[in-house]
Amino acid sequence: MTDHIPALRLEGIVKTFPGVRALDGVALSVMPGEVHALMGENGAGKSTLMKVLGGIYQPDEGQIIVSEVPTVMTSPLQAKSKGIVFIHQELSLAEELTVAENIYLGELPRRSFGRVDWTMLYAQTDAILKKLKVGFNAKTIVGDLSIANQQMVEIARALTVDAKAVIFDEPTASLTDAEKVVLFDVISDLQAQGVGIIYISHRMEEIFKITDRISVLRDGSYRGTLNTRDTTEEEVTQLMIGRALDLTRNESHHTLGDVALEVRGLSCGDLFKDVSFEVRRGEVLGFYGLVGAGRTEIAETLFGLRDPDGGVILLDGEEVRVTSPADAISKGISLVPEDRKGQGLVLGMNCRDNMTLPQVGNLSSGPFVAPGAETAIFDKYKEKLDIRTPGWKQTVGNLSGGNQQKIVIGKWLSMNPKVLIVDEPTRGIDVGSKSEIHTLIRELAAQGYAVIVVSSEMPEVLHVSDRIVAMFSGRVMRTFTSDEVTEESLIQAISGIAPTQKVA
Amino acid sequence: MEAGNLSKILKNSAIWGFIVLELIFFSIAGEFLSLSDKAFMDVDNMLLLLKQSAPIGIIAMGMTIIMVNGNIDLSVGAIFALSAVILLDSLSWSVFAGLGDWVIPVSWTLALLTGVALGAINGLIVWKTGVDAFIVTLGSMLGFRGLVFMYNGENPTSSLNWTLVDFAEAQFLGFHTATWFLAVVTLIIWYIMTRTVHGRNAYAIGDNREAAVNAGIKVGPHMLINFMIIGFLSALSAVVFYSESGSVNPNDGQLYELWVITAVVLGGTKLTGGSGSIVSTLGGVLAIQLLRKGLGHIGADTSTVNLVIGLILIAVLFLDRQLNAKGKEELKI
- Whether the CB of A395 is below 8 Å from some CB of chain B: the reply is yes
Overall average pLDDT of the B161-168 stretch: 83
Q: Is residue B220 part of a domain?
A: yes
pLDDT of residue A300: 93
Q: pLDDT per residue over A428-455, tens digit each? A: 776 667 778 888 999 899 888 999 999 8
Q: Do A397 and B216 touch (CB under 8 A)?
A: no
Overall average pLDDT of the A171-188 stretch: 80
A361 → closest Cβ in B197, B212, B333 = B197
Report chain B residues touching chain A, CB-CB < 8 A. Answer: 1, 4, 195-201, 203-204, 207-208, 210-218, 274-275, 331, 333
Residues of A in contact with B333 (CB under 8 A): 400-401
Could you tell me how many CB contacts below 8 A there are between chain A and chain B?
Answer: 82
If you count DSSP H runs as helices and E runs as strands, how many of each does chain B have, helices first?
Answer: 13, 4
Give the structural domain span for B218. Answer: 53-254+271-277
Residues of A in contact with B270 (CB under 8 A): none
DSSP structural state of residue B128: H
Residue B268: what are its φ and ψ, rounded to 5°? Answer: 100, 5
Among A321, A379, A380, A327, which residue's Cα sits nearest to residue A358? A327
Q: Do A360 and B200 touch (CB under 8 A)?
A: yes
| Mean pLDDT value across chain B | 87
Q: Is residue B297 part of a domain?
A: no
Residue A248: pLDDT over 70: no
Residue A287: pLDDT over 70: yes
Residues of B in contact with A395 (CB under 8 A): 4
Q: pLDDT per residue over A203-238, tens digit each? A: 778 889 899 999 998 878 888 898 999 988 778 877
Residue A43 — very low, low, confident or very high, per pLDDT cuts 50/70/90?
Answer: low
- Per cent of chain B over pLDDT 90 is 50
**Contact, B115 vs B235, CB < 8 A?**
yes
Interface mutation vs chain B, best among A357, A394, A431, A433, most B CBs within 10 Å: A357
Overall average pLDDT of the B188-192 stretch: 95
Q: How far is B265 from chain A (nearest CA, A)?
A: 18
Residue in chain A closest to B273 (alpha carbons) equals A348
Among A490, A482, A418, A424, which residue's Cα sits nearest to residue A453? A424
| Mean pLDDT value across chain A | 86
Q: pLDDT per residue over B118-149, tens digit each? A: 999 999 999 999 999 999 999 999 999 999 99
pLDDT of residue B1: 37
Q: pLDDT per residue over B65-99, tens digit each? A: 999 999 999 999 999 999 999 999 998 888 887 77
Q: Is residue B300 part of a domain?
A: no
Q: Do B200 and A369 touch (CB under 8 A)?
A: yes
CATH (residue range A1-83+163-244) = 3.40.50.300
Q: Do A335 and B214 touch (CB under 8 A)?
A: yes
Q: Is residue B172 part of a domain?
A: yes
Residues 6+ apart with CB under 8 A from B94: none
Residue B6: pLDDT over 80: no
Among A108, A84, A255, which residue's Cα sits nearest to residue A163? A84
CATH (residue range A259-494) = 3.40.50.300
- Per cent of chain A over pLDDT 90 is 35
Residue A320: pLDDT over 80: yes
Residues of B in contact with A358 (CB under 8 A): 215-217
B207 → closest Cβ in A344, A346, A361 = A346
- Whether the CB of A375 is below 8 Å from some CB of chain B: the reply is no
Overall average pLDDT of the B168-178 stretch: 87
pLDDT of residue B11: 63
Q: How far is A143 from chain B (nearest CA, A)?
A: 23
Q: How far is B313 from chain A (nearest CA, A)?
A: 24
Higher per-residue pLDDT: A179 or A376: A376
Q: How far is A372 from chain B (nearest CA, A)?
A: 12
Residue A157: pLDDT over 50: yes
- Delimit the CATH 3.40.50.300 region(s) of chain A: 1-83+163-244, 259-494
Q: How far is A449 from chain B (nearest CA, A)?
A: 20
B197 → closest Cβ in A328, A367, A401 = A367
- Whether the CB of A367 is below 8 Å from some CB of chain B: the reply is yes
Q: Is residue B228 part of a domain?
A: yes
Overall average pLDDT of the A151-156 stretch: 86
List strand residue ranges (DSSP E) for B205-292, in order.
247-248
CB atoms within 10 A of CB A18: 6
DSSP per-residue letters across A193-243: TT-EEEEE-S-HHHHHHH-SEEEEEETTEEEEEEEGGG--HHHHHHHHH-S
Lowest mean pLDDT among A24-33, A368-377, B150-159: B150-159
Overall average pLDDT of the B222-248 stretch: 93
Residue in chain B closest to A391 (alpha carbons) equals B1
Q: pLDDT per residue over A98-141, tens digit each? A: 999 988 887 788 888 888 889 999 999 998 888 777 888 899 99
Residue A254 — very low, low, confident or very high, per pLDDT cuts 50/70/90?
Answer: low
pLDDT of residue A3: 55
Residue in chain B closest to A358 (alpha carbons) equals B215
A325 → closest Cβ in B4, B207, B216 = B216
Residue A90: what are its φ and ψ, rounded to 5°? Answer: -90, 130
Residue B324: pLDDT over 70: no
Number of domains in chain B: 1
Q: Do A394 and B1 touch (CB under 8 A)?
A: yes
| Most confidently modeled range among A423-432, B77-86, B313-322 | B77-86
- Whether the CB of A348 is below 8 Å from some CB of chain B: the reply is yes
3-state secondary structure A282-314: CCEEEEEECCCCCHHHHHHHHCCCCCCCEEEEE
**Contact, A477 vs A287, CB < 8 A?**
no
Q: Do B216 and A348 touch (CB under 8 A)?
A: no
**Contact, A167 vs A84, CB < 8 A?**
yes
Higher per-residue pLDDT: B5 or A328: A328
